[in-house]
Amino acid sequence: MNNIEQIIKEAVEKIKNADIKALENLKVDYLGKNGVLTQILKSLSQYSVEDKKKIGAQANKAKSIIESEIENRKIFLKQVLLDEKMQKEKLDYSQSFYFPFPKGHFHPVAQTIQDIIVVFKSLGFSVVEGPEIETDWYNFGALNIPENHPARDTQDTFYLDGMKNLLRTHTSPGQIHTMEQHQPPVKVIVPGRVYRNEASDASHSATFHQVEGLAVDENITFVDLKAVLTDFARKFFVSELDIRFRPSHFQFTEPSAEVDMRCMLCGGKGCRVCKNLGWIEILGCGMVHTNVLKAVKYDADRYTGYAFGIGVERIAMLKYGIDDIRLFYENDLRFLKQF
Ligand code: DAH
């Protein structure tokens, strides 16, 4: 009996300091087929009935004590391991405060859109957005570009759902949405991303950005258009900027014009950047075509309006002297950090 007490004491002591592997060995040593306690139980036959009972009971008790001590120690060790692992993987939420993460900033395209918005807001325009997925009607039809019209040639795009929908080739459909939803007076700009089915090179990209402008009311004339766009160009570039309105053609405006600015690089003498013209085109514009007003059921006898479209990358390139549009989309930090 004393022997069994001794065995328990000794086992408990060993279990206390055992690691997972040692626990397995102890289990074998005490409870295994040839373990100490199994031996005792096997040898019971040599004792008297009385002793057999006592020793047997004692040995079984020892067995269950040692068994549960081993189990408890196992659970404890597993918890310790888990705690250690958690400690190692713990996130230190205070760390970002001290971590030298560089502060980011707006992408030059986003920044340019913001700069354009600021100028037009100061001139009384509201900002609205339109969907990038359009129907043929919004992108072409309502803008006086009928099917099979050659004006579509320069605006090939990506079609979706058969030919039902397409990615807008310009922000001009924003004009249609605005007029469908509001009666005059309207005075909005529509910034956004546009798409063309085009191979990319230094001055072309299948994805780029525009800011559309539209103002419709009674008595709006070309004078208003000239004033607003001259103001914009001088606020966006430099206050002394020399600009001109050159006759042009767009299906959705009549008359149409393109606005050029005097080449800032050569002062108008002619250079590589302005292709020896002395002038650089910065945007397209015109008086809203009566067919467009009619398409949105505006009273074309009562209302007139002007519209314009600005290529965001284009004027950012002019402002910052960037010679390849692809730089905007490569996410090369050496480029982006300069803004
Ligand atoms: N939508 C034309 C384009 O992408 C740009 C444009 C020209 C917009 C004249 C206008 C405008 O609103 O009046 O080429």
Task: Indicate if 73 and 23 belong to the same structural domain.
Answer: yes
Q: Rounded to two decimals, what is the model's pTM? A: 0.72
Q: What is the residue range of 22's domain?
A: 2-88
Task: Indicate if 179 and 283 belong to the same structural domain.
Answer: yes
| Cα 285 to ligand 1 centre (Å) | 6
Dist CA 308 CA 233 (whole Å) = 13
| Cα 284 to ligand 1 centre (Å) | 5
Of 88, 122, 152, the residue that ends a domain is: 88
CATH number at residue 284: 3.30.930.10
Task: Indicate if 216 and 72 belong to the same structural domain.
Answer: no
Across the chain, mean pLDDT equals 93
- Strand pairing partners for 212? 190, 309
- Tens of pLDDT, residue by residue over 228-281, are 999 999 999 999 999 999 999 999 999 999 999 998 888 899 988 888 999 999
Task: Indicate if 167 and 54 belong to the same structural domain.
Answer: no
Identify the pLDDT of residue 194. Answer: 98
Is 331 contained in some domain?
Answer: yes
Query: Ligand 1, closest atom to CA 169?
Result: 4
At residue 112, what is the residue type? T
User: Where are the strands (E) in 196-336, listed by range?
Assistant: 207-217, 243-250, 253-262, 279-288, 304-311
Question: Measuring from atom 7 of ligand 1, which residue has the nearest CA?
Answer: 284
Task: Indicate if 83 and 113 belong to the same structural domain.
Answer: no
- Tens of pLDDT, residue by residue over 134-175, are 999 999 999 999 999 999 999 999 999 888 899 999 999 999
Query: Using only C-alpha atoms, what is the Rg of the chain?
Result: 41
Ligand 1 pocket by Cβ (under 6 Å): 170, 172, 212, 250, 253, 284-286, 307-309
Of 171, 248, 252, 304, the residue with max ligand 1 atoms within 8 A of its CB, to mutate for a pocket test, comes to 252
CB atoms within 10 A of CB 183: 11
Query: Ligand 1, closest atom to CA 248?
Result: 9
Is 103 contained in some domain?
Answer: no
- Tens of pLDDT, residue by residue over 284-317, are 999 999 999 999 999 999 999 999 999 999 999 9
Q: Is a pLDDT exceeding 80 seen at residue 320? A: yes
Of 172, 188, 203, the residue with max ligand 1 atoms within 8 A of its CB, to mutate for a pocket test, comes to 172
Dist CA 104 CA 117 (whole Å) = 21
Contact 317, 235 (CB under 8 A): no
Task: Indicate if 57 and 148 belong to the same structural domain.
Answer: no
Return the DSSP state at 263: -
Q: Beta strand 279-288 with 253-262: parallel, antiparallel or unpaired?
A: antiparallel
Of 211, 225, 259, 308, the residue with max ligand 1 atoms within 8 A of its CB, to mutate for a pocket test, comes to 308
Question: Measuring from atom 12 of ligand 1, which residue has the nearest CA?
Answer: 308
Question: Measuring from atom 4 of ligand 1, which residue has the nearest CA?
Answer: 170
- Tens of pLDDT, residue by residue over 168-185, are 999 999 999 999 999 999
Question: Measuring from atom 3 of ligand 1, which residue has the nearest CA?
Answer: 170
Q: What are phi and psi of 205, to 5 degrees?
A: -150, 145
Identify the pLDDT of residue 97. Answer: 59
* Cis status of the peptide bond prior to 173, with omega within 30 of 0: no
Q: Per the structure, how many domains does the chain have?
A: 2
Of 88, 119, 146, the residue that ends a domain is: 88
Query: Ligand 1, closest atom to CA 143?
Result: 1
For a pLDDT cut of 90, what percent of the chain falls above it?
A: 80
CA nearest 4: which of 42, 50, 71, 56? Answer: 56
Dist CA 312 CA 110 (whole Å) = 9
> Which of 241-267 are b and which e, b meaning 16 or more Cβ less than 10 Å from the residue's Cβ?
ebbebeeeebbbbeebbbbbbbbbeee
| Cα 309 to ligand 1 centre (Å) | 4
Task: Indicate if 190 and 273 belong to the same structural domain.
Answer: yes
Task: Indicate if 171 and 314 belong to the same structural domain.
Answer: yes
Task: Indicate if 161 and 295 belong to the same structural domain.
Answer: yes
Give the position of tokens 């043929």.
136
